[in-house]
Structure 1
Amino acid sequence: MRKVLLPTIIIIATILLILRLFYLQVINDSLKLKSDNNAIKIQYEYPERGYIYDRNGVLLVANQPSYDIMVIPRELKNIDTLEFCKLLNVPKSEYIRIIKKAKVYSPRLPSVFLPQLNKLEFAAFQEKIRKFEGFYIQKRSLRDYQVNFGANVFGFITQANERTIEKNPYYNSGDLLGMQGVEQSYEEVLRGIKGVKYIQKDKYNREIGSYKEGEFDTIAVQGEDINLTIDAELQKYGEQLMNNKRGGIVAIEPKTGEILALVTAPSYDPAILVGRQRSRNYTMLYRDSIAKPLYDRGLLAEYPPGSPFKIMTGLVGLQERVIDEQTTFMCHHGFSYAPGRFMKCHGSGPHQLHNGIYNSCNTYFANVYLRIIGKYSNTPYAVDTWSNHVKSFGLGQFMGYDLPTGKKGKIPTSKTYKKIYPGWGYSGKTIISNAIGQGEVLMTPIQLANMMATVANQGYYYTPHIIKKIKGEKIDKKFTTKHVSTIDKKYFAPMISGLFDVYNFGTASALRVEGIDICGKTGTAENFAKINGKRTQLEDHSIFVAFAPKDNPKIAIAILVENGGFGATIAGPIASLMIEKYLRHKITRIDLEKRTLERSLQDRYAKYSGKKTVDSLLISKPKIGDSLLVMKPKKVILTDSMKKKN
């Protein structure tokens, strides 16, 4: 039996192999089309990218026609280069360089000679194209932005580079793909499917018709349209409020995790990254090391969270039962936690959880933190217990949202302090700055917003995401999966009560909006930098977190303004204005709006950087109290630093 088995297997395998080869070589001609067949020309038809809408169906990004001049080097014959270069306003040296590069890529395959001609340039070249054998026009579509905001949300379209082409067989030279923002995250959904035509050529390289009567031809399929979770009106308003400031705003719908606004400042008009000037404008944006308009501060910038982190300290203290609502600590405008060392504080007198929150009492939360760490006798387990509670709110880790960039932030663990203090040379007093969001704690604005969404939901959150609907598809299940924190639901009610009274009696009492119950927390984070080799304390960062309404919350928000000073000065007013804009679609606190829109921090930034710059590439000042409807793009205004480089 064994003697028969092996020959039988060999015979069967041989027969199968012969049948497969017969099918591929005689019956199925598709492999011929994938080879470098000199008698067949492959012509692509490029689909339109899917349209992008906001959560309410407002069109944000559409398409416009674009025309690329393509070249097949081996087909170049008798070209009058002087006439060609004059027609397209291209130096002859540039012509020679591009053709040389195209030959290196492939003598037989098309390469882009000149991308993104407008209609007039296309018409002029089309009239004389018959003179320039080896060149042809490839129609594509470029983005047509219906709004002049949201550049960091959308991303942009660029040509696929050689590395991408080698890595992904879908792309050829000259193909466009999305970079950054939703264009990158949802590239495969938005790009559609290219159409292909196979054209037969004779021995003189002349086209003689479709190969096999078009049997293998396919038509282009347009990309799928998508709806974002972004509220266009809120996004635009946030960018307006952040004019001449630097920082980030993130607003989330607590019950779903949908991102309502994702603002980074400074920003730019997305339209400047479309067309022939795209590369030049991108280079200017990239090189602007002062304003960093391509740096998404809402997702990437890690800051000490400051006083908003007291929310976490209080909740962990309740969960670990080292305090209750009546636990009292005495504040004397400073808390002595080591001989001769004090923690400054805003208040004085006895503080419990409720007034500790709305007065933002450092003394109270420092004592709570010492009790948390002391519960486990200042062991590594104590720090890790505290750390694990905090991380259950999505902090100190990549959050898994559907945007291609982000940072983890930092929630220290016992490993962190083992490196800093070898041999366990520390105690709760050593690391007490963590209690008030300083020390080793770092968070991004989107993490701060998610923290507030979790508090608003009394203990759970959904992974923040920016996709609401994909035509014909379902969104990823991970965005509808509930994440439950380690803090029992019963402990959120007293914390929310304290946050509500921040607006009634506390540090944000001047920021109330009549008729809207807002729960919030001011924050002022210390900010140090090296200037001339010395560690220098700069103006503090202004931070504010909030959600509203108090019952059945619809929006949770975090605002960070770099070097903005006290949390209630700049970040707080922005929070109140954004909340009212979203819930009412109008503004009643005209005084706050006027003050915020007119407030500029440019002189402060110039002092720190040593250079004068105008941050906003889009300066569009609204009238006070305007509805700020979605508008078409306005003229872009470049920064001073860009003008110098130009």
Structure 2
Amino acid sequence: MIENRKYYVQTIFIVIGIIFLIKLFSIQVMDSRYKLAAENNVINKVIEYPYRGLIYDRNNKIIVHNTPVYDIMVVPKEVEVADTIRFCSLFDITKEEFEAKILAAKKYSYIKQSLFFPQVNNEEFARIQDDLVEYKGFYPVARTIRSYPEPVLANGLGYIGEVSKNQLAKDTTNYYKSGDYIGISGLEAAYEKELRGKRGVKYKLVNVRGIEKGSFNDGAFDSASVPGNNLVSSIDLELQKYAEFLMKDKVGSIVAIEPATGEILALVNSPSYDPGLLAGRKYSSNFQALSQDTLKPLFNRPVMATYRPGSVFKLVQSLVALQEGVITPGTRIVCNRGIINCHGAHTNEDLHGAIKFSCNPYFYQTFRKIINQGKAPKMNVDSRIGLSMWDEYLDRLGFGRTLGVDIPNEKGGLVPKPSYYNRYYGEGGWNFYTIYSLSIGEGELLTTPLQVANLAAILANRGYFIAPHLARGIDTPDAFLKINYKREDTGIDAEHFTTVVDAMAEIVDGTARIAKVKDVEICGKTGTVENKNSFDHSAFMAFAPKENPKIALSVYVENAGWGGGVAAAISGLLIEKYVKGEVAANREWVENYVMTKAYLNNLK
């Protein structure tokens, strides 16, 4: 029995040996794939990067497209460079730079491809292509970078850059690899998954001179790249260009919205930058220069800057007070300037007149009526109850929180709650007289330009808004996928908007008449935003036409003085441009007033 077992074991070993010999014979003699691979010494894995999706404006004009470039990759194990000086001359680098790049590649991997020299454009690649094949270990990989027909909307579009180590670590899908590009900010970041497409891969046989000899195994292991989907934005490119022109050499922002849809027609940050600066090989040096610019062109003011809203906020106080029933449109309040200062010649106005003349005492008393309604015997408790209720109204009107715009880094501003004042004054240590500056949009209150433009849209819609957004939909090969956005109701009855909107129309006929456009009824409100460090900021919000509004906007120009000046002028020009298609010749003086900064003469 033991003797038989010995034969069994010997037989098993002999069979296994025969199997290995047959497999070895098959690999070395019968299968030419492996012979060819051994003779040529390398099967080169080539990543095929997809075309990133294009971005269009609302009228199907291209805002962002792609330009082909070549990344030069290196496999350190394969590198053979006899004449380093000649090789370096191809890329205009020094010998020290060459050695540093090779060292970095070795640290990454001795046998895997890594980036040696990025983004060689077509002209440069045509110049070096014939010489490059003489150097083993270097492989060109085709990819694309972003290109911009018009140098506008930089902060809204955002930019793409090489994926960082932190981003790679956070990528739970394992989609990204070192050397990949990813959307960093703006629409490029917000819609990264839709725009990026899907990588492909090709396995190519390469001879000792680096020349391709065909696909490995007839491409059986290859996969094709899939282009990204296109993004159709809400931006009106012509309006955007004109708005950026008007904001040239100024600091501030413009946000224009289509009220019925929440679509952002123009998003202007000033100063901004040419988006092409952050596309291409000079990305790093350009980004550093932009980051160090004291005017902060990378800071996206429309969604990130916070200002005291100033007199614009009197419209909010009006709506809340009417809804609460503490005033009516006919309520008259004496302009008592001994309580709080005011401006203009007026005395005992109703609500319409108070809005028209921007009467500070009227809104001081109105805010007091909102906050102290006698719901508690002690004033400090009554004020806490009133402020909590007021906070809820402001939240429904989109203040003190983000609106959910579809680009990153939106700020929510500040609407102080009772807990805010409790931290500073202690529980019960404050009342209406501590916080009365909120009545005219000052004090601790902070809003963003986007929130104020959204307020204009609420007024245009008489009580609701659609979340402001920059993307209308995704254009796929199969269909256009429209993106649906949430409608938010403010809880304020539509009837209460009548008095407010009528008064806004008279403001443009009066103190803000520089915004007036023939045959277009504009409803607006000036705002002079206090600035302790220099001249006040000029602010204006408006919508037009009064009936069936097509555009709502906010304009902020820092250190430019009264809101009825340059901010109102810019608003009128933009409304005229959008509603009528062009600015009338007899209105060129308004454009000159804006561009020559004539408004600054009143500040000296």
Could you tell me the TM-score, scaled by structure 2's length? 0.87
Mapped to 2, the partners of 1:301 and 1:475 lie a distance apart of 30
Tell me whether 1:350 sits opposite 2:344 in the alignment.
no
Alpha-carbon RMSD: 2.3
Of 450, 453, 476, the match for 1:449: 453
Tell me whether 1:497 sits opposite 2:497 in the alignment.
no
- Asked if the contact 1:229/1:465 (under 8 Å) is kept, the reply is yes
Mapped to 1, the partners of 2:515 and 2:205 lie a distance apart of 73
Equivalent residue of 2:70, what SS? strand
Summarize deviations over 1:20-62 as a string: whole Å, max 9, x none: xxxxxxxxxxxxxxxxxx9754211112211111101111111
Equivalent residue of 2:372, what SS? helix
CA shift, 1:204, in A, is 12
Aligned to 1:21: none
Of 191, 197, 203, the match for 1:198: 203
Equivalent residue of 1:122, what SS? helix
Tell me whether 1:401 sits opposite 2:417 in the alignment.
no
- Asked if the contact 1:384/1:414 (under 8 Å) is kept, the reply is yes
Summarize deviations over 1:410-452 as a string: whole Å, max 9, x none: 1111111111210222221211111111111100000000111
Q: What is the one-letter code of the residue matched to 1:110?
A: Q
Mapped to 1, the partners of 2:295 and 2:219 lie a distance apart of 54
CA shift, 1:172, in A, is 2.4
Of 421, 434, 438, the match for 1:434: 438
Tell me whether 1:222 sits opposite 2:227 in the alignment.
yes
Equivalent residue of 2:67, what SS? strand
Aligned to 1:184: 189
Summarize the alignment of residues 546-561 of structure 1 with structure 2, pairs less than 5 Å apart.
546-561=542-557
Mapped to 2, the partners of 1:229 and 1:122 lie a distance apart of 37
CA shift, 1:99, in A, is 1.4
Aligned to 1:10: none
Q: What is the one-letter code of the residue matched to 1:517?
A: E
Tell me whether 1:149 sits opposite 2:147 in the alignment.
no
Mapped to 2, the partners of 1:484 and 1:209 lie a distance apart of 63
Q: Give 5+ residue unaligned stretches, structure 1.
A: 1-37, 337-341, 530-537, 608-646
Aligned to 2:590: 592
Please identify, of 355-364 and 271-280, the stretch whose mean Cα deviation from structure 2 is larger: 271-280
Mapped to 2, the partners of 1:409 and 1:547 lie a distance apart of 22
CA shift, 1:203, in A, is 12
Aligned to 2:312: 308
Tell me whether 1:279 sits opposite 2:277 in the alignment.
no
Aligned to 2:248: 243
Summarize deviations over 1:197-217 as a string: whole Å, max 9, x none: 134689999977544432331
Summarize deviations over 1:609-641 as a string: whole Å, max 9, x none: xxxxxxxxxxxxxxxxxxxxxxxxxxxxxxxxx
Question: Cα–Cα, structure 1 residues 329 and 225, in superposed 2: closer, same or farther, change >3 Å?
Answer: same
Summarize the alignment of residues 160-171 of structure 1 with structure 2, pairs less than 5 Å apart.
160-168=163-171, 169-171=174-176
Mapped to 2, the partners of 1:203 and 1:51 lie a distance apart of 39
Aligned to 1:291: 295
Mapped to 1, the partners of 2:76 and 2:149 lie a distance apart of 38
Q: Give 5+ residue unaligned stretches, structure 2.
A: 1-40, 377-381
Aligned to 1:263: 268
Aligned to 2:4: none
Summarize deviations over 1:474-515 as a string: whole Å, max 9, x none: 3443x1x2100021121111111111111123x213431111
Aligned to 2:370: 372
Mapped to 2, the partners of 1:568 and 1:204 lie a distance apart of 72
Question: Cα–Cα, structure 1 residues 356 and 604, in superposed 2: closer, same or farther, change >3 Å?
Answer: closer
Mapped to 1, the partners of 2:602 and 2:57 lie a distance apart of 35
Percent identity reads 41
- Asked if the contact 1:53/1:227 (under 8 Å) is kept, the reply is yes
CA shift, 1:77, in A, is 2.6
Could you tell me the TM-score, scaled by structure 1's length? 0.81
- Asked if the contact 2:133/2:211 (under 8 Å) is kept, the reply is no
Aligned to 1:24: none
Mapped to 2, the partners of 1:106 and 1:449 lie a distance apart of 52
Q: What is the one-letter code of the residue matched to 2:577?
A: K
Summarize the alignment of residues 552-571 of structure 1 with structure 2, pairs less than 5 Å apart.
552-571=548-567
Mapped to 2, the partners of 1:317 and 1:263 lie a distance apart of 33
- Asked if the contact 1:45/1:194 (under 8 Å) is kept, the reply is yes
- Asked if the contact 2:566/2:599 (under 8 Å) is kept, the reply is no
CA shift, 1:321, in A, is 0.6
Question: Cα–Cα, structure 1 residues 454 and 41, in superposed 2: closer, same or farther, change >3 Å?
Answer: same
- Asked if the contact 1:345/1:363 (under 8 Å) is kept, the reply is no
Question: Cα–Cα, structure 1 residues 224 and 575, in superposed 2: closer, same or farther, change >3 Å?
Answer: same
CA shift, 1:258, in A, is 0.2
Of 417, 420, 431, the match for 1:416: 420
Aligned to 1:512: 516
Summarize deviations over 1:181-209 as a string: whole Å, max 9, x none: 11111112112111111346899999775
CA shift, 1:318, in A, is 0.5
Equivalent residue of 2:402, what SS? coil
Equivalent residue of 1:430, what SS? helix
- Asked if the contact 2:305/2:448 (under 8 Å) is kept, the reply is yes
Summarize deviations over 1:209-263 as a string: whole Å, max 9, x none: 5444323311112111111100001111111111111001000000000000000
Tell me whether 1:468 sits opposite 2:466 in the alignment.
no
Length, aligned pairs only: 551
Aligned to 1:522: 526
Which has the larger Rg? Answer: 2
CA shift, 1:320, in A, is 0.8
- Asked if the contact 1:160/1:176 (under 8 Å) is kept, the reply is yes
- Asked if the contact 2:555/2:570 (under 8 Å) is kept, the reply is yes
Mapped to 2, the partners of 1:603 and 1:222 lie a distance apart of 54
Summarize deviations over 1:554-600 as a string: whole Å, max 9, x none: 11000111111000111110111111111011112222111111218
Question: Cα–Cα, structure 1 residues 98 and 474, in superposed 2: closer, same or farther, change >3 Å?
Answer: same
- Asked if the contact 2:514/2:572 (under 8 Å) is kept, the reply is no
Equivalent residue of 1:68, what SS? strand
Mapped to 1, the partners of 2:397 and 2:438 lie a distance apart of 16
Mapped to 2, the partners of 1:242 and 1:364 lie a distance apart of 34
- Asked if the contact 1:573/1:596 (under 8 Å) is kept, the reply is yes
- The structure with the largest helix share of the pair is 2
Mapped to 2, the partners of 1:410 and 1:604 lie a distance apart of 31
Aligned to 1:391: 395
Q: What is the one-letter code of the residue matched to 1:492?
A: F
